[in-house]
Amino acid sequence: MPDTTIRARNRADENEVEDQRDEGESCPECSGNLITDSEHGETVCEDCGLVVEEDNVDRGPEWRAFDAKEKNEKSRVGAPTTNTMHDKGLSTNIDWRDKDAYGNSLGSRQREKMQRLRKWNERFRTRDSKERNLKQALGEIDRMASALGLPENVRETASVIYRRALDEDLLPGRSIEGVSTACVYAAARQAGVPRSLDEIADVSRVEKSEVARTYRYVVRELSLEVKPADPESYVPRFASGLDLSDEAEHRARSLLKTAKEQGVHSGKSPVGLAAAAVYAAALLTNEKTTQAEVSDVADISEVTIRNRYHELLEAEEGTVAL
DNA sequence: ATGGTTTTTACTGCGTC
DNA sequence: GACGCGGTAAAAACCAT
C-alpha cells in the first residue's frame, strides 16, 4: 500500500504546479503537462505534442447552450453511471419474466428468442466479470511482489499463472487474494528467487494455511512444474542481509553443494539449510555473526540453525577425508 | 484421524568479555 | 552480569497414509 500513497502525493504536487486541467498525469515521453482537448476528444502533451489518449467520450452537454433553459434541454440523456456497481451499471439486464414492456405475455417464438438472448447476455457478462477479477488480482500480485522485492519477470509469471487459473475455472470457492498470493509464491519459486511461506503470508491478506492450501491446489490443477526450493537460492539474500563477504557467500554455496551430494538434506526445510550454511560460512571466514542474527533474517529458529550446521560441517569433513 | 518427522519454544549450563 | 553458544524436552506444525 505504500506504493499508492506515494503516487497520490506526486499527483497532488503536479496539480499545484500546473493550472491547466487533467488529473495531474504527465506525458510518458517527455513528462510534460497534459492538456485535454475536448473538441477533438484527445489528450495531448503540452511540450512534445504526443497524443496520449484518443476518442475520449465527451460527457459535456450537447452543442452550445445560450441560457439555462437550453442548457437543460440539450444536456445528454441516460442513466448516470455509478461506481457502486462493478460495471458502473452499464451492462444490460434482461428480465426473467416473459412479458413485454406492457406486461403482456410473449408468444412462444418471442419466448425462445428471449431465452437465447438471456443466455448470451449472461455469457458475455461472465466474461466481463473475469476481466474485472483479473484486474483486481493483477493489482494484488503487483503489490505483493513489490513488497517482497521480487523482480519484474516474477510478476509476469505470476500473472500468467493467475490467468491460467482463471481460464480453468479454479477460482470459484476461493478468494482472489488467496489465489493471487499462491501465484506469487509459485512464480517466485519457479524463477529461482523463492520466498518462504511466512514471508509471503506476511504481505498477503490471507492466512498462511490458506496460501499453502491454495498453492497446492493450483499447482496440482495446472500441473505446474515447480521443483523443491533450492537452498542455494536463499543464500544471496541472507548473506547480503547480514553484510557478509562474497567469500562467505561462496563458502555457503559449496557447503550446500557437498551436503546435497551426501544427501543430508532430504526432508529438511531448505530455508533452514540455507541459514545454517550461511552461518557456518561466516564462522569459517571469521566474520562476525551470531545465530540470533541469522535466525532473524532467515526467519528460522536458532535451534534449527544449530542442528543443520552441525550436519553441514560433518558432511564437509566426510568429503574432505575422502 | 493418525503416526512419524521436523521445527519451534522454553529452559538450562558453560565459557567469555 | 550480559551475551553467545550448545544441548534437551516437550509442544506444535507438517506430511503422508
Which of A179-183, A188-192, A261-265, A279-283 is least confident?
A261-265
- Residue A304, CB, less than 7 Å from strand B? yes
The predicted model gives A61-75 an average pLDDT of 51
Buried b (16+ CB within 10 A) or exposed e, A27-65: beeeebbbebeeeeeebbbbeeeeebeeeeeeeeeeeee
Q: Residue A138, CB half-sphere, CA atoms under 13 Å: how many?
A: 14
- Residue of A231 and A28 predicted with greater confidence: A231
pLDDT in tens, A231-266: 889 999 998 888 888 888 898 899 888 888 877 677
Nucleotide nearest to A267 (CA to C1'): B6
The answer to whether the C-beta of A260 is closer than 7 A to strand B is no
Q: Please name the residue ranges forming H helices in chain A.
A: 2-17, 68-74, 108-147, 152-167, 176-190, 197-203, 208-221, 235-241, 246-262, 270-284, 291-298, 302-321
The mean per-residue pLDDT over the stretch A106-125 comes to 83
The pLDDT of A29-33, averaged and rounded, is 60
Q: Which residue is nearest to nucleotide B9 (CA to C1')?
A: A301
Nucleotide nearest to A216 (CA to C1'): C15
CA A13 to C1' C4, in angstroms, rounded, equals 51
Mean pLDDT, residues A115-140 taken together: 83
**What pLDDT score was predicted for residue A180?**
93
**Domain locations along chain A:** 1-75, 129-222, 231-321
Contact flag, residue A36 CB and nucleic strand B, below 7 A: no
Lowest-confidence region among A29-43, A163-177, A201-215, A248-262: A29-43
Predicted local distance difference test score (pLDDT) of residue A69:
52
* Beta-carbon-side half-sphere exposure of residue A111 (alpha carbons within 13 Å): 8
Q: Is the CB of A302 under 7 A from strand B?
A: yes
Q: How far is CA A310 from CA A40, A221, A263, in A?
A: 74, 39, 14
Mean pLDDT, residues A13-38: 50
Which of A11-20, A114-123, A313-322 is predicted most confidently? A114-123
Query: pLDDT digit string (tens) for A200-223?
Result: 998 888 888 889 888 988 888 888
Q: Distance between CA A239 and CA A246 in Å, rounded?
A: 8
Domain A129-222 top-level CATH class: mainly alpha
Q: Which three cell numbers stand for residue A63?
A: 452543442
Q: Is the C-beta of residue A165 closer than 7 Å to nucleic acid chain B?
A: no
Q: Please state the rounded mean pLDDT for residues A267-279.
A: 88
Q: What is the C-alpha to C-alpha distance for residues A211 and A221, in angstroms, rounded to an integer?
A: 15
Look at residue A125 and tell me whether its pLDDT is greater than 90. no
Mean pLDDT across A14-36: 50
Task: Indicate the average pLDDT of chain A.
Answer: 76
Is nucleic acid strand C under 7 Å from A209's C-beta? yes
With a 7 Å cutoff on the CB, does A237 touch strand C? no
pLDDT band, very low/low/confident/very high, at A186 (cuts 50, 70, 90): very high
Query: CB of A269 under 7 A from strand B?
Result: yes
Bridge partners (DSSP) of residue A36 are: A43
For nucleotide B8, the protein residue with its alpha carbon nearest to C1' is A301
Q: What is the DSSP string of A263-283?
A: TTTTTS-HHHHHHHHHHHHHH
Q: Which CATH number is associated with domain A231-321?
A: 1.10.472.10
Q: Is the CB of residue A310 inside 7 Å of nucleic acid strand C? A: yes
